Amino acid sequence: MANSRVNWLSGLTGNIIVRLLLYYAVLVGLTAAAWRYVPHSELFARESLDALFGGLPGAGGGEARRNAATVSLNQTTLALTVTLAMVSSVLLALPVAWVYIQTRAKRGYQQSVVQTLIILPVVVAGIVVMVKYSVALAFSLAGIVAAVRFRNTLDDSKDAVYIFLATAIGLAAAVDLPVAFVISVLFNGIVLALWFTDFGRAPAHLDGKMAERKLARAMEQLSRTGSFVARIDDQVFRDMPAEQLSAVADRAWRRARRNNPESPDPEGRREALLRVRTADIDRARLTLEPLLEEHLKRWRYGGVVHEKDGTHVVEYVVALKKSASPQEVLDVLRANGVPHVITAELN
């Protein structure tokens, strides 16, 4: 019973829409309860309402707003105002970070951007509360921001929108808290609606035609040997060490000899590809390799190709002696390799 409840709760909170609705409902309920039951002084209530909620009719908010430039706030009220603005900005920025992670999960995202969405509103809210009661501080902040430049390259234009939104939430949390709440809710709702409906995507028939044209162009480019080799060289071979490049070159040579044995060797290596078909790789190698050592100028093991019929083709790159013909070498291998050698051929 307990496990079923846990699974039901995890499934419920795993839905981003349900999670946001529950979060905003709890946030509104806790805010209303705190404002109603937590004791606060009349001065703090009046000044906080005017500073954070823009003033309430009939509650003296308009007068406080008109005299905001001349009122000298005490340190306790200012500290509580800053705390309320910064905490509120975090609570309203957190669901924005959830939506960002959810909508960017497939394409990937930077953890630094997610953390910025939480930290930036806090910084903005604290600074705005600090400078809005002092013209001198406001001008000082403007000079500092003009002198310091922050540069960062974002992967997606949507990331810049999220950064701008985080700044707006921090600013609104310090000036007009209900506006910050509305910004957070509406933004998340619009983003999720666009994400679920895949708004703006090309129609299926147009998308299919575009994909066909792109595929045709790609195949045309790949069919050109020079372009294909240049692309492989730039994207695959560029960072490979010498040992891997040698192995790839050897395998490519064996593949070319295997597919077209009658063509001349383009590298002029004067080597041949010996291909021995067998049903037992280990026993065939134990039988063949002493014979290769005796009758060939040099040889090296190339690898094994597994055939669909269950047999295996053991490949060797060999160089013949001047006194031995290819047919003589094949006759020796076939005669002495029985029963492990089924066929043998030199390409």
DSSP code string of 167-214:
HHHHHHHHH-HHHHHHHHHHHHHHHHHHHHHTTTPPPHHHHHHHHHHH
The better pLDDT of the pair 71, 292 is held by 292
The better pLDDT of the pair 275, 47 is held by 275
Side-chain-side CA neighbours of residue 296 (13 Å): 25
What is the pTM (predicted TM-score) of this model? 0.49
Cα separation, 171 vs 39, in Å, equals 26
Q: What is the per-residue DSSP string for 218-242?
A: HHHHHHSHHHHHHHHIIIIITT--H
Q: Looking at residue 7, what is its pLDDT?
A: 56
Q: Looking at residue 23, what is its pLDDT?
A: 93
Average pLDDT (107-136) is: 84
Q: Looking at residue 100, what is its pLDDT?
A: 92
Q: Is the predicted pLDDT of residue 96 greater than 70, yes or no?
A: yes
Looking at mean pLDDT, say which of 71-85, 181-195, 235-249 comes out highest. Answer: 181-195
**% of residues, the chain, pLDDT over 90:** 13
Task: Give 158-189 pLDDT, tens digit per residue.
Answer: 888 898 899 899 888 888 888 999 999 999 99
CATH classification code of 243-346: 3.30.70.1710
Q: Is the predicted pLDDT of residue 3 greater than 60, yes or no?
A: no
Q: Looking at residue 12, what is its pLDDT?
A: 55
Which pair of structure tokens corresponds to residue 242? 């010498």
Which pair of structure tokens corresponds to residue 44? 């703090």
The better pLDDT of the pair 179, 326 is held by 179
Cα separation, 316 vs 340, in Å, equals 16
What value does the mean pLDDT of the chain take? 75
Cα separation, 289 vs 74, in Å, equals 95
Q: Is the predicted pLDDT of residue 336 greater than 70, yes or no?
A: yes
Q: Strands of 343-346's sheet, edge to edge?
A: 296-306, 312-320, 272-278, 343-346
Where does the pLDDT of residue 60 fall: very low under 50, low under 70, confident under 90, or very high at 90 and above? very low
Task: Give 293-319 pLDDT, tens digit per residue.
Answer: 888 888 888 888 888 888 998 888 888
Q: Looking at residue 226, what is its pLDDT?
A: 56
What residue ranges do the domains of the chain occupy? 2-197, 204-237, 243-346
Task: Give 181-225 pLDDT, tens digit per residue.
Answer: 999 999 999 999 988 887 777 665 566 666 677 767 766 665 555
Q: Looking at residue 197, what is its pLDDT?
A: 84
Cα–chain center distance at 212: 27
